[in-house]
Structure 1
Amino acid sequence: MPEDLTPIPAATLVVFRERGDGPPELLMLERSAAMRFAGGAVVFPGGRVDAGDRAFAATHPGDPDDLAARVAAVRETIEEAGVAIGVDLPDLPAARRALYDDTPFGEVIAGAAFDPAALVPFARWLPHQGVAHRIFDTRFYLARWRDGAPDPAVDGNENSQLFWSSARATLAAADAGKVRMIFPTRRNLERLALFNSFEDAVADARAHPIDTITPWIEVRDGVDHLCIPEGLGYPVTAQPLGAALRA
């Protein structure tokens, strides 16, 4: 397989902030327009698994691929949004700068306990090879934002803005043309819009298998649709291909 088509392990984190008067809000980022992948689109924080993530995972028990992905999700969320999940860092801004300087995760959190159980597996997406110049094998995790934690702050590099919004409100913004949204983000927000609490989302995640989702094209009523499997918790499993943004 050509190197540029080899799937790149990646991870993303859906961070919930509970509200007393409505559905939970999710932390969303808008990618800088100049970014090659999903430029200008709203996404959850996340990115590729790097060598430091794998090195840290290798020193801990459990599935090394899953643990490396959890580390990547946490590291990327610190870098992109200044939010630390599953680890208490006495100087979060300094940790963020160190990660940006490519200091390995294990060195940055030295002396602090890391709790991978703070992340709950939710989904795994792997686009069909040939639809993009790079293919990401992305694991999605759920986590709860800790009350009293420092407010998120955009990195100003890969992302142009961040915001808290319910899944339904973000979908409505996309329908109104206010934000751009790639196909996996939309399908996951539609699923997340079903939940009225973090606990509801966790229960649903545990009730469905984490099968790798690879969308395919299928003709329905004479129109090409981009489709995903039934039975994995997604309320919408097909979208006309012409309306689907595929990064």
Structure 2
Amino acid sequence: MTSDSAPDGIPAATIIIFRNATDGGPPEVLMTVRSRELRFAGGMAVFPGGRVDPEDFALGEQVAAATGLAPDEAAHQIAAVRETLEETGLALGLVGDITAQSAEAARAMLAENGALAPVLEAFGWQLDLAQITPFARWYPKNERIPRVYDTRFYLADLGTGAVEVSIDQSENTHLFWTTAQGALDAAERGDIKLIFPTRRNLERLALFASHAEAKAQAEAIPVRTIMPQVEERNGTSWLTILADAGYPITGEPLDTVARG
């Protein structure tokens, strides 16, 4: 059910962005609804993210020594930063003279060339990967499915939340802020659709009253690769995950699981 090394998956990174609720209630997270035309998770509500590009790995090699991260991990965190800017317009994991106007211009440049390194050079920004906290890694490996993503999940905190976000007009059709429980409730009403990893992560996120609480748990529980397995329980097939990885619900009847 777990492996420290999960070869052959398509490397991907996704980021769970927190903001403070205006009413003092539970924090909100940013979610996006993917275009129905996409092969993976089309029409599903997910967290911003995408695959790790060769340019991310190249930049990861350069920054690994300075950050103390392994080059592979640095590349995934860089991909999370790049995808956040690309998909939402938010400049997280970056430091420098960052304004709404410069972030918009940087996003436009990123859309043209697809790589983060030229954007950093053009705007005089630097990576600040300390803003990114590793949270989970999911690899739903299946021999019958040739394209499976090996996805690392990260946490980041926007704080006030008084920042505009907008869709990228290509992969996403809608961006929205919601509490984790609010997203689960919306799925129960049929307002949004959730794939298995997103649902399990939202259930875990619903445990926390703040980004600080989520970060503390993420730092206390080592990230291991979660590879869901099918188990038979009283004649019913269940899709299950690790029991000690921080998730309050570790299984779901297979016939209710939404697939990407």
What is the CA-CA distance between 1:103 and the residue it aligns to? 4.0
**Native 8 Å contact 1:174 1:181 kept in 2:** yes
**Equivalent in the alignment of 1:28:** 31
What is the CA-CA distance between 1:104 and the residue it aligns to? 2.0
Question: Which of the numbers 92, 109, 114 marks the counterpart of 1:85?
Answer: 92
**Equivalent in the alignment of 1:200:** 213
One-letter amino acid matched to 1:67: A
What is the CA-CA distance between 1:114 and the residue it aligns to? 1.1
**Native 8 Å contact 1:16 1:144 kept in 2:** yes
**Native 8 Å contact 1:128 1:216 kept in 2:** no
Using a 3 Å threshold, how does the CA distance of structure 1 residues 39 and 148 change in structure 2: closer, same or farther? closer
What is the CA-CA distance between 1:148 and the residue it aligns to? 6.5
Deviations 1:177-225 (A, max 9, x none): 1111000000000000000000100111112120100001011111000
CA distance in 1 between counterparts of 2:40 and 2:109 reads 24
The 3-state SS of whatever aligns with 1:52 is: helix
CA distance in 2 between counterparts of 1:241 and 1:204 reads 28
CA distance in 2 between counterparts of 1:131 and 1:177 reads 28
What is the CA-CA distance between 1:83 and the residue it aligns to? 1.0
Question: Which of the numbers 37, 42, 45 marks the counterpart of 1:42?
Answer: 45
CA distance in 2 between counterparts of 1:103 and 1:7 reads 22
One-letter amino acid matched to 1:72: A
The answer on 1:137 being equivalent to 2:140 is no
The 3-state SS of whatever aligns with 1:204 is: helix
The 3-state SS of whatever aligns with 1:9 is: strand
Deviations 1:54-99 (A, max 9, x none): 1111111121111100000010111111111021445112211221
Using a 3 Å threshold, how does the CA distance of structure 1 residues 200 and 148 change in structure 2: closer, same or farther? closer
Question: Which of the numbers 192, 217, 229 marks the counterpart of 1:216?
Answer: 229
**Native 8 Å contact 1:123 1:210 kept in 2:** yes
**Equivalent in the alignment of 1:169:** 182
With normalisation by structure 1, the TM-score equals 0.94
**Equivalent in the alignment of 2:247:** 234
Q: Following superposition of structure 1 onto structure 2, how do residues 9-24 of structure 1 map, counting pairs within 5 Å?
A: 9-19=11-21, 20-24=23-27
**Native 8 Å contact 2:87 2:167 kept in 1:** yes
One-letter amino acid matched to 2:40: F
Using a 3 Å threshold, how does the CA distance of structure 1 residues 224 and 205 change in structure 2: closer, same or farther? same
CA distance in 1 between counterparts of 2:227 and 2:161 reads 38
**Equivalent in the alignment of 1:155:** 168
Q: Following superposition of structure 1 onto structure 2, how do residues 113-128 of structure 1 map, counting pairs within 5 Å?
A: 113-128=126-141
Question: Which of the numbers 6, 27, 48 marks the counterpart of 2:8?
Answer: 6
**Native 8 Å contact 2:134 2:153 kept in 1:** yes
The 3-state SS of whatever aligns with 1:121 is: strand
Using a 3 Å threshold, how does the CA distance of structure 1 residues 131 and 159 change in structure 2: closer, same or farther? farther
Deviations 1:149-181 (A, max 9, x none): 631111121000010000000000001111110
With normalisation by structure 2, the TM-score equals 0.90
Percent identity reads 47
- RMSD over aligned Cα, in angstroms? 1.4
What is the CA-CA distance between 1:132 and the residue it aligns to? 3.0
- Stretch moving more, 15-24 or 186-195: 15-24
One-letter amino acid matched to 2:255: G
**Native 8 Å contact 2:28 2:178 kept in 1:** yes
**Equivalent in the alignment of 2:120:** 109
Runs of 4+ displaced beyond 6 Å: none
CA distance in 2 between counterparts of 1:188 and 1:182 reads 10
One-letter amino acid matched to 2:49: G
What is the CA-CA distance between 1:239 and the residue it aligns to? 0.2
CA distance in 2 between counterparts of 1:192 and 1:14 reads 9
The 3-state SS of whatever aligns with 2:31 is: strand
